[in-house]
Amino acid sequence: MGNLAFGASLLIDSIDVVAPGCLQAADWRNWSDLQRSHACYESPSLRPEYTKLLVPLRPNLRVAVMRYRGASVGFFPYVVETPGIALPAGRWLMSFQTIVRDPRYRVDPKLWLTACQVRQICFDRMVCPNDDFAGYSLFTASSPVVDLRNGYDDYVRQLQDRGSQLVTRLEQKKRRVMRDCSTIDLVDESENDLILERLVSWRRQRNREILAKDFLSQLWTRQALQEFCRQRDDLFCGRLFVLRFGGRPVAALVCLQSGGVLECVMTAFDPELRQYSPGLLLFYFLLRDAIRYDVHRVHLTRGTEQFKERFENDSVHVSDVAIGRPLLMRQLSRSAFFMQERVRRTPLGHSVRRVWRRICRVRESLRNPLA
């Protein structure tokens, strides 16, 4: 593709699609510099190392590269799972999805469709530095964040100022655990594959309970979690936090860290000990001890779990975006989302969601009886 108009005077040379192995060292450096120099791209899953890690796990992964005067100024790693539809390469294992690019440049989003040779490009957690994709947004929601730049004590005061009793109640839970189990510890056990297997088992069991999609049924997601935990670079590090009661693992969390930013990828707890709220206690200890890991900002990741809203003191706007989807379908998707949000905030929201998920599960089984 040549001579793509950008604003009033700038011209983009091309948007090229290549296999990751075809990117030059200068391209990887430009990607890294873009990610580090713009706050909207602070998520570790937008680092080039994240895409490199996925390459052997997702053989059909491609990178669309935007070039200006020969230099790479934008990157979109994607896969095509359904014919004609491009999706971010990390899918469910990303807090944020986007096209990492220099925000000074603007381009018609449809040009990405042409370059990738697809009908649609879909994001479900898109963060965008400007309004280029506003016309294709289905809806926008808040992704919860914990900002600890002023210290843990200041964070606790912020929660208390809005009337939250969360920390007080978790301290009571902690004392109860100490009475019953003698010790409670949070440690980083990134090299413990057995703990990771247990975390995956807990998460899959929890997904069945709430009738959520079992994304861990796909082999590449489980392999990616293993690879995350093996990363030890200053700019891209994986962590597996484990909460133990009396030495027994009761909750775990896989995270990615880049600089002082921590991104929560997946968490779960032992359902046999849910009366102690081990999942909440894990986050309590993690935030309290964040300074030990040089963490000042934690992305909890948008989801249906309401506990995240209880911990947050900041947020980032993310959007569901469907480039190329017909206008009528976009409007229907927006209407469905707003209806779900209204229901979710009612006292019966949890029960309604369970019924709806069960209907969706039955409908899917009827469509795919052999799945």
pLDDT in tens, 105-146: 878 888 999 999 999 999 989 998 667 787 888 888 899 999
DSSP-based three-state secondary structure for 144: strand
Residue 338 φ/ψ, nearest 5 degrees: -65, -35
- Confidence check: pLDDT of 62 > 60: yes
- Work out the average pLDDT over 255-266: 96
Sign, CA torsion 226/229/230/236: positive
Task: Tell me what pLDDT residue 61 has.
Answer: 98
CATH of 4-140+318-363, one of 3.40.50, 3.40.710, 3.40.630, 1.25.40: 3.40.630
Task: Tell me what pLDDT residue 6 has.
Answer: 40
Least confident of 13-17, 213-217, 363-367: 363-367
- Confidence check: pLDDT of 71 > 80: yes
- Work out the average pLDDT over 321-343: 63
Domain ranges of the chain: 4-140+318-363, 150-295
- Confidence check: pLDDT of 161 > 90: yes
**Are 4-140+318-363 and 150-295 the same fold in CATH?**
yes
Is residue 215 a contact partner of residue 91, using CB atoms and an 8 Å limit?
yes
The CATH T-level fold of domain 150-295 is Aminopeptidase (3.40.630)
- Confidence check: pLDDT of 225 > 50: yes
Least Cα distance to 95 among 274, 268, 240, 297 occurs for 297
Is residue 88 a contact partner of residue 97, using CB atoms and an 8 Å limit?
yes
Least confident of 64-68, 119-123, 200-204, 363-367: 363-367
- Work out the average pLDDT over 232-241: 93
Task: Tell me what pLDDT residue 307 has.
Answer: 86
Q: How confident is the model at residue 276 (pLDDT cuts 50, 70, 90)?
A: very high
Report which of residues 135 and 195 the model is more confident about. Answer: 195
Reported as a single tens digit per residue, the pLDDT across 33-43 is 999 999 999 99
Least confident of 33-37, 67-71, 362-366: 362-366
- Confidence check: pLDDT of 8 > 50: no
